[in-house]
Structures are given as structure tokens and as C-alpha cells.
Structure 1
Amino acid sequence: MFDKRLSVLKENFPGLFIGNKSVCFINPRDLTDLDHFNIHNTVVFTDDIRMYSPLSVFGYNCEPEANLDVDISIVLLPKSKELARELVFMGFMTSPEGFVVIDGDKKDGIISIINELEKEICYEVKLSKAHGKIAVFRPANGNLPSNWNANQSNKVNNEFITVPGVFSADHVDPASELLKKYLPNNLKGSGADFGVGWGFLTKYLENLDTVDNIYAIDVSKRALACAAKNCVTSKVQFIWNDVLKWKSPKLLDFIVMNPPFHTHGKIDIALGEKFIISAANNLVKNGSLHMVSNRHLPYENIISKHFKEWKEIGGNNKFKVILAEKPLAVSKKNP
């Protein structure tokens, strides 16, 4: 709903975007978020390859220099409060003499962020629209709260490095932990971790003597940076890509995954199904898929269409672990 709030902002603060002002757009959620901004004077900060690749093709500069100084920074706030504070800090630093625009949905917590900031900074304008808020402030007129800064990190189990905003940033995801218990210790050859996150499963895989190499794939550059710190053997190749579009240079012996099933906060079963199809397309004819999912998600039908054999090998009342073997996608190509 950013576009609706942007329209209201332009009506109430008409001078903000007048002229050829330089803009830094931080954390776009959708390609259409950039529709109203000129390619030639807009740079984009995103860690999501699904935004980075097409926006780069369109002509946007998605690799701005470190010491950027622009007239306006626009920050679309994520659900993670820690990451939201970090992104506002980034906007503050990139527009020291200009303006920072923050936008977000109420369900994602923008009200609390606005209230925290209001203790230190006076807003030029603050508006509500489309179940969210948009506000503007000038960094020159105040300071951020003292505990707001960038590059924060965390350690899970005193072992794994994570950062705000990545999936399961403050604990080991229970579904992934369950899947690890059912992964055989004799997995061998070449494999992949689809949606590696900060590397919990890949860490296990890289320590198996019979595993030769692992492709660790994720759409989030921040998550991959964490995984690269947590998984340090030469077996692992970190790939910033969309699992749904990635093709392995060579068909794989095994794939592990805990596929996502939300898009913009809404349940999206088709997303998990596409992960399963991609896995089938990237496995050798006798390859295996090891996956975990929430018990209520009906993935069995799509698995049956793309694998000759499959079975539930473990689980509990919340999650199920499935082993699927002999992908039909490969069998049909190589009878």
C-alpha cells in the first residue's frame, strides 16, 4: 500500500519531490514501489535478489557507493523491529542534510517505530492511509535514539552468527532442527540447501565426510553473509539467487530444504510447491529430497507428481519430515 500513502504524502507535502532530487530507496517490497521514481537519480538498497536483478535490468543503480549523500531517503520498514531501526539508521546517514521518509503497515509495527523516533525527532509530516503510516523527518533537526545503529549481530546457541531480519534470527528454527535429526549421516556426493538462511543445515552437511560439495542458495544477501561465517569449509558455494530460477551446473545427488510458505506475510502454499518442483528439476534420476514442513501444508500431491517414491519419515504434531526419491522430472528427460 506504499503507493497509496505516497500519493497522500505528495498532496500534503508537495514540495518534497519537486525538482531533480536524488533519492535513495531502501528495502523496496515490490517492483512497482519504484514506479514513481526516476532511474537516473534513484539508487536502491536491497538484499533481495528478486528485487535486485530486475531493478538492475531496468537501469536502477542497485550498488550505491558506501558514502552516499542524497536529498531524500525512502525506507520501507520490515516486520523485524531490529532491522527496521537499522534501515532507518541507514536512511539517516545517507540524507544528513535532506529528508527521510519512513513507510510501513500497522501490522508490521510502524506505529512503535514512529513513537520511538518521536522522542528524539520532530516530524515534518505524519499521515495514515491504507492500514499503515508514512512520515517524514529531517536528520539535521534531531538525533536517532542512542540504541539505534547499524551492523548489529547475534549469536544463536553461542555458535551461529545471525543479523536482524533474517529468518529465525534469534533461535534455531524448530522445523529445521527436526529435519536435521532425520538427515542420514551417509549422504554423499553433491547437494544443495534450498533457502539456506544463516546456514544451520549446511553446517551439518559440510561436516559429513561423504559430502563433496554443497550449493547454499538464498534470496537474501544478508542471510548468505551469515551462512558464510557459519559454514567455513571449502565444500560450500554460496549463491545469491532465487531457488525457483536457479539451475545447478550439474544435477545433484541430494537437496535439503525447509521451504517458505509466506509471501508478504500471507500464506502462499504455491511457493513451497515451486521449491519442490525446482528440487525435482535439479536432482539426478536417483536423487533424494529431504524436506520439512508444517504438518497442515498439503504438499503430498505435488510431491507425488514429481517424485516416483516418497514417504513421511518423521515428525510431530507441528511438523512433518518427508523423504522423496527418484524425481520424475529427470526420469522423463532421461528414460
Structure 2
Amino acid sequence: MTEHAGLWQILSHDSDWAGCFGYEPDRQQQGSCDTVVVFLPKARAECELRLALARYLGKPGAALVVIGEKKEGIAGAIKQFSVVAGEVVKVDSARHCQVWCGRNTQPLTEFRLTDWLSWTELSCAGVALSVAGLPGVFSLGRLDDGTRMLLETLAESPLGVDRVLDFACGAGVIGSWLHGFHQLAGKKPIRVDGTDVQAQAVFCARESYRKAGVNGEIFAADGLAVVQGNWPAVISNPPFHTGVKTDTSMTEQFLAQVAAHLAHGGELRLVANSFLPYEALIRQHIGPVEKLAQDRRFTVYRAFRKKSG
């Protein structure tokens, strides 16, 4: 079971693996495993979620194994682990990574992802919205400053299109806001489709869209492979971390490919930390770049794909 759409696709094509995407196991998987291995996530609350799922999947007396790096917080996670597994033992340690095992875990007979779902009321540029949340989703329980800056530019300089793709959509904040903004302004409805690589984000974005009545579909995807056709606008607040490590490869790949998914004259609008080297990549792959907003932390970039002829 993985929360990463790209890894899920790889596993689904390997006959030696039975891959499952996200935290929604089939009922028949309850109590089916002799050993459950949990890789330590970044967020403490997500560790609790993974441990609960592991208890649901494990047979009585199953071995529950937790693996993580010291800098990821394995010491704190072991305290959580011991609460549900009783006595736990460190079975290996190398290269700043530890492996712990417990065998007195009490199984769970019920596991519902909706029990972990939360809602946050947000407001930006006069638009109120409700956003779904799950442990591990980006900016849980708050509107991050980068997205706020991006939304403010959308209020000041609207896209002027009726169809948008939100890449790395997270919990669906941008799509929900655009829907509310168009309603508040009395504009015609806008369709906002979204993609994200993380299972929690996909689940939350669908819930946020459902509650707000957003017209759009959310896709689980690692990159733009599932995106069909050309878009008059693509918008993004892309991630730059994998776990606790800085990783810009996903956004670099996105910028190299996005022009092929933009209509001629279509707009890319993207917010990123100001220190990240995206301006040159946008100019290289799409065209001249404009900075719509900037402070010491974030920059909102805008670029248009050149029109044919």
C-alpha cells in the first residue's frame, strides 16, 4: 500500500506485488497480514494513521515493523509505536536509519479513512471556502502563505478562462477558491481539474470539490501523464520536498512538459519559494516570464505559451 501514485502505477504492473493506492483497504484485507512494515512519514499525525492501518491489516500476533531515519524523527515515532505495540525492539541500525519491531500489537477490527477527515474554514480576497484535511496533506488546517499570494494575484489579475488545470492541487484549495470567486463575481462557471501524486491530497480535493460544488475532476497522477488535451490555463503551487529532503525534480519535469498541455496563448501561473531556480526554466520551456507578486519568501510567476503563426 502506498500513498504515491507513481509508485502505485509501478507496483500495479509487477506480478510479484499486489499494489493498493492510499488508505482505503478492501474489507477482505482486514487481518490478512503476518507482517506489516510501516515507513516513517514526515508528519506525526500521519504516523498515527499508518499505525492504525497497520493494526487493521495485521493478524493477531502479527509482526509490526517501523523503519525511519533519525532526522525524520524515528525516536518520537517509537514512542507512538510502543503505545499500540507494547514492548518494541530495535532490530537493526545503519546509515542513520533504524528498524524497530513489535509483536504485541492489538488488531483493529474497523478502519475508516473518513474518521480521520477534518474540515478547515478559510478565507482569501473575500472568498470563503471549506477545505478537507487528512494527516500528511500539505498545509493541513491553514492557508499557506504561498497559496494566499497566488490567490491574491488571481483576484487582482483573473485568468479570464473557463477551464483550468491545477497541477499538484493538494486538498483542492485553488479550485474551490476559483469556484467561489466566479460565483461571488457573478461570472460564468469555471471548470477546474486537478492532479496530485499523494493519496490524501486526491481524497481531500475530491471532498473539498464535492462540498463546494466545484465543476472538475481530480486525478491521481505522478506528473502530467494522465492529462489529455490542451488547457487555456495551468496553475500550480508545486511541492519541493520529498519527505524532509528538498526535491525540485517533480517541478522541473512539470515545467519541461507543461507547454505541450497549454493551448497556444495559454497561461501558466505558478507560485514558488523565491530561492528556487524556476524563472529560468519557465523562460526556457514556455516563454517570457512576468513576476506578478514577490516578497522575500515567495514569487508568483506568469508566462504565456506563444501563439502559433
TM-score category (smaller protein): 0.7 to 0.9
Shift of 1:125: 4.7
Matches of 1:263 and 1:52, distance apart in 2: 16
Q: TM-score, normalised on structure 2?
A: 0.83
Matches of 1:262 and 1:169, distance apart in 2: 16
1:137 corresponds to which letter in structure 2? G
Q: CA RMSD in A?
A: 2.4
Matches of 2:239 and 2:279, distance apart in 1: 16
Gaps of 5+ in 2: 123-129
Task: Give matches, 1:239-278, under 5 Å.
Answer: 239-248=219-228, 250-278=229-257
Change (3 A) 1:90 1:257: same
Change (3 A) 1:270 1:241: closer
- Among 83, 88, 92, the alignment partner of 1:127 is 92
Counterpart in the other structure of 2:125? none
Shift of 1:108: 1.2
Q: Is the counterpart of residue 288 in structure 1 residue 252 in structure 2?
A: no
Change (3 A) 1:94 1:186: closer
Q: TM-score, normalised on structure 1?
A: 0.77
Give yes or no for contact 1:188–1:211 (8 Å, CA) kept in 2: no
Task: Give matches, 1:33-112, under 5 Å.
Answer: 45-59=1-15, 60-63=17-20, 65-68=26-29, 69-97=32-60, 98-112=62-76
Shift of 1:50: 0.9
Matches of 1:262 and 1:119, distance apart in 2: 29
2:194 corresponds to which letter in structure 1? A
Q: Is the counterpart of residue 191 in structure 1 residue 171 in structure 2?
A: no
Greater relative contact order (Cα 8 A, min sep 6): structure 1 or 2?
A: 2
Runs in 1 of length 4+ with deviation above 6 angstroms?
Answer: none
Task: Give matches, 1:303-314, under 5 Å.
Answer: 303-314=282-293
Matches of 2:19 and 2:67, distance apart in 1: 20
Structure 1, residues 4-39: CA drift from partner, whole Å, max 9, x if none?
xxxxxxxxxxxxxxxxxxxxxxxxxxxxxxxxxxxx
Give the secondary-structure state (helix, strand or coil) at the position aligned to 1:134.
Answer: strand
Shift of 1:308: 2.9
Matches of 2:12 and 2:287, distance apart in 1: 40
Matches of 1:293 and 1:186, distance apart in 2: 18
Give the secondary-structure state (helix, strand or coil) at the position aligned to 1:93.
Answer: helix
Counterpart in the other structure of 2:145? 174
Counterpart in the other structure of 2:133? 162
Matches of 1:228 and 1:160, distance apart in 2: 10
Structure 1 or 2, whichever has the larger Rg, is 1
Matches of 1:70 and 1:174, distance apart in 2: 42
Matches of 2:55 and 2:296, distance apart in 1: 46
Give the secondary-structure state (helix, strand or coil) at the position aligned to 1:103.
Answer: strand
Give the secondary-structure state (helix, strand or coil) at the position aligned to 2:225.
Answer: coil
Aligned length: 281
Matches of 1:116 and 1:301, distance apart in 2: 44
Give yes or no for contact 1:206–1:236 (8 Å, CA) kept in 2: no
